[in-house]
Amino acid sequence: MSKLLVKADKGHGRVAHVTPKSAGWTYVGFDLHRLKPGESASGRTDDREIGLVFVTGKGTAKAGGKDLGLLGERMSPFDGKPWSVYVPQGSDWSVTADTELELGVCSAPGLGGGLPVRVIGPNDLGQEVRGKGTNTRYVTNILPEGQPADSLLVVEVITPGGHTSSYPPHKHDQDNLPAESYLEETYYHRLNPPQGFAFQRVYTDADKSGHRALDEAMAIEDGDVVLVPKGYHPCAACHGYDLYYLNVMAGPKRTWKFHNAPEHEWLMKA
């Protein structure tokens, strides 16, 4: 199995755990908690900031000494926009499930920005349609660069069955602004219906001999996490199965500037 593919546990509790150390990089962390009613997840941000994303279900949240009340609305990631909470560094947080709850904990370095805890409701979120034809996908910006945070960029994408996404292939692995930013990235995948599968390829440019330093093609199942340390990272959803993913990105500068694969850039004009 690819080292870039993290299989979430099938039970409850913290079922996926990605840290900068485990991923072999510097910035991005991602945990997934799957909770039964009455169960809780909690932590302290220390020198990091986090985004709590209610992927599915409802729960009572507290953060930074504030009682945030009952949050969450949708029971499927394919049904509407999520509730989320931004939690700055140096804060305690907890979520207690009211229903079956799937909670994504997205983390990145805090930079001492002194930002407050804030609830991000569905009405606060912008949505956009990207692509055309079988490259159409639907994007919900949870923590885009236009909204306050120190390092975190968080977004959800739904790709209909038979469509491609993160495509044409693009990368963001060079600290070369304004042309390209360095951002590590995780993908948390869900499928509808859940017995389906999709594909994701993570690869770098070929050298003069045709060798690629990284080239991994993975079959993605419901609940899988994919690590993108560098390179291009397109996805393909199979016919009959819609693909959801939650992206977490972070790097030395909080901006998303990507570079398209030159050999496929003609698709942008087609």
pLDDT value, residue 25: 98
Domains and CATH numbers, the chain: 9-268 (2.60.120.10)
The pLDDT of residue 112 is 87
Cα separations in angstroms, 198 against 61, 76, 90, 244:
33, 18, 38, 10
In order along its 270 residues, the chain shows pLDDT tens digits of 889 999 999 899 999 999 999 999 999 999 999 999 999 999 999 999 999 999 999 999 999 999 999 999 999 999 999 999 999 999 999 999 999 999 999 999 999 878 999 999 999 998 999 999 999 999 999 999 999 999 999 999 999 999 999 999 999 999 999 999 999 999 999 999 999 999 999 999 999 888 999 999 999 999 999 999 999 999 999 999 999 999 999 999 999 999 999 999 899 887
Per-residue pLDDT, 81: 96
Give the separation between CA 20 and CA 24, rounded to whole angstroms: 6
Q: Hey, CA dihedral for 168, 130, 192, 37, is it positive or negative?
A: positive
- Quick one: pLDDT at residue 182? 98
Q: How many helices (H) and strands (E) does the chain have?
A: 1, 25
Degrees to nearest 5, angle at CA 171 with 129 and 83: 45
Give the model's pLDDT for residue 62.
98
Predicted local distance difference test score (pLDDT) of residue 210: 87
Q: Identify which of 252, 251, 171, 245 has the alpha carbon closest to the alpha carbon of residue 215.
A: 171
* Farthest CA pair distance, the chain: 59
The pLDDT, as a whole number, for residue 183 is: 98
Check residue 188 and give its pLDDT: 98
Full 3-state SS string of 152-168:
CEEEEEEECCCCEECCC
Strand partners, 226: 5, 187
Q: How far is CA 162 from the centre of its chain?
A: 21
